[in-house]
Every structure is written in structure tokens, then in C-alpha cells.
Amino acid sequence: MSSEHPFGAANAVTTIREYDHADGRLARVLVPKSGARFQKPRGLRFGPDARLYCVARDEVVGFDFETGECLGAVARLPRLNGQAVLFFP
């Protein structure tokens, strides 16, 4: 799940929120590093390296899911607007 506030604003603060599957409570919030232009996130996927990747408007941002650390933009492409991430061997 992701949250963007204020929605659609150029300076929106965007995070990924993890919720507990048992009770639905917020478990933690993953926050991108400064410098990552993490706007309008869409697709979330775990990579073969067990890291979490999220496609945003202009980039793909990686997270170490175990620690919650943001790895920053792992790929940048203006107007990417991706909907999903796909990994090939």
C-alpha cells in the first residue's frame, strides 16, 4: 500500500505502508531517501534478491524489506509511469 499527501501535488510526501495481516493495524512505514523522486507509486514487487521494488512516476525505488532501509532509485526514466515491475533471470 502507498500513501501520497497531498495527493497529486508536486511536493507530495509518498510512503509505503505495511499492515499486519492478522489485525489490519499499521506495522511500519517505509520512507524513500531524500533525492528519490518517489511520486505516484504503482507496482510493488519483491525481487529475486528479496528486496522490495516500487515503480513510481520517473523511477523504480528499492527497499531492503528486512531493515526497511530505502536503497534509493535503482532505475530512472522520465515519465516512466510504470504499473508493475517484472524481473527476468
Q: Residue by residue, what is the 3-state secondary structure of the chain?
A: CEEEECCCCCCCEEEEEEECCCCCCEEEEECCCCCCCCCCCCCEEECCCCCEEEECCCEEEEECCCCCCEEEEEEECCCCCCCCCCCCC
Residue 20 sits in which domain range? 2-76
Domain assignment present for 81: no
24-28, 34-38, 43-47, 55-59, range with greatest mean pLDDT:
24-28
Write down the pLDDT at residue 79: 76
Give the C-alpha separation, 67 to 88, whole Å.
25
Domain assignment present for 88: no
- Quote the number of domains for the chain: 1
Tens-place pLDDT, residues 65-84:
999 999 988 888 887 776 66
Domain assignment present for 82: no
Domain assignment present for 50: yes
The CATH number for 13's domain is 2.40.10
Tens-place pLDDT, residues 19-35:
999 999 999 998 887 66
Domain assignment present for 84: no
